[in-house]
Amino acid sequence: MTAIATLGSHCSLQVLKGAKDEGLKTILVCEKKREKLYKRFPFIDELIIVDSFKEVLDQKCQSILEENNAVLIPHGTLVAQMSSEEIESIKTPVFGNKWILRWESDREMKEKLMREAKLPMPEPVTEPSKIEKLVIVKRQGAAGGKGYFMAANEEDYNSKRNQLISEGIISKDETLYIQEYAAGVLAYLTFFYSPLREELEFFGVDQRHESDIEGLGRIPADQQLKSNKVPSFNVIGNSPLVLRESLLDEVYTMGENFVEAAKRVVAPGMNGPFCIEGVYDENAKFTSFEFSARIVAGSNIYMDGSPYYSLLFNETMSMGKRIAREIKTAAESGQIDKITT
């Protein structure tokens, strides 16, 4: 029998509930401090208690996973807390493509893959002296938007950067990435590509709620002007969104272009769930500033199924259950190698 394993954070509840619904054994790699929380959920069969998630790399943890014939589901916490080298060294089969996670973490590689996929992107700004329009300044990796800031020119950039350094939020030698700010309606588009069926599914859309940039909108302008706090983009939660139906065709095209580009650039391609993140402007033109090459936490909204999946499946289908279904189908037909790396 195959088991599904993941790290206790991000979207682990949804992933393991979906696996249980598909009749698979569920294993959670759980930090000691969260044991009490995760013990509340009866669909988790086994907890592997660790002090730090990095222990997933240790022989002890990997042997338990191997004994259980486990497939590890990567999510944002794995990407945020481990280096690409560490992720690539995991011996347990990883669902999807662990090699593409490096392309998610490294800004230059990310930009390259997005260009290859012909995704319309905000222009990168190579140095602070070249800031001519409003920009957003980002940190490397899946930092979750913490420590990001907006700047209108070089002087503004320097003063905010210095402030964040003095507050200990960013470090002095950190390489920051500057990108033009794209204004509009936020839309995070989640897909699932099945290498077994060779088919792309559009799962749904969510919006992220980020603090404290969103809080700014609740403060009158005169109070905003008096504040010298640099607002951050720290994700707090997500909410659902459906798109105008006329936008769907383009959404599928973007997803398909991404899958094709990933196949060319990083074998075996973009298998499993992924997300293209961006904004729609006043002409309903999409600009993408980011992708995630694995399940995103925005899919937690749809634990009882998403509107778009209810069009494709005649049953309740969460992303966690979709992943488990793919693994189960692959296991039953001897194709686990096709869906893991």
Task: Give me the residues that bind ligand AMP (CB under 6 A), please.
Answer: 122, 136, 138, 145, 148, 179, 181-182, 186, 208, 210, 233, 277, 289-290
Token pair 């009749």 is at which residue? 23
Nearer to ligand AMP (CB atom), residue 80 or residue 196: 80
Contacts of 51 (CB under 8 A, 6+ apart): 31, 32
Report in angstroms how near the CB of residue 138 gets to ligand AMP at its nearest: 6
What is the distance between the alpha carbons of residues 186 and 210, in angstroms, rounded to a whole number? 11
Report in angstroms how near the CB of residue 65 gets to ligand AMP at its nearest: 30
What value does the CA radius of gyration of the chain take, rounded to a whole number of Å? 20
Q: Are 283 and 270 in contact (CB under 8 A)?
A: no
Report in angstroms how near the CB of residue 145 gets to ligand AMP at its nearest: 4
What is the distance between the alpha carbons of residues 267 and 94, in angstroms, rounded to a whole number? 14
What is the distance between the alpha carbons of residues 120 and 234, in angstroms, rounded to a whole number? 24
What is the distance between the alpha carbons of residues 341 and 268, in angstroms, rounded to a whole number? 8
Report in angstroms how near the CB of residue 127 gets to ligand AMP at its nearest: 17
Nearer to ligand AMP (CB atom), residue 96 or residue 144: 144
Report in angstroms how near the CB of residue 258 gets to ligand AMP at its nearest: 16
What is the distance between the alpha carbons of residues 43 and 25, in angstroms, rounded to a whole number? 9
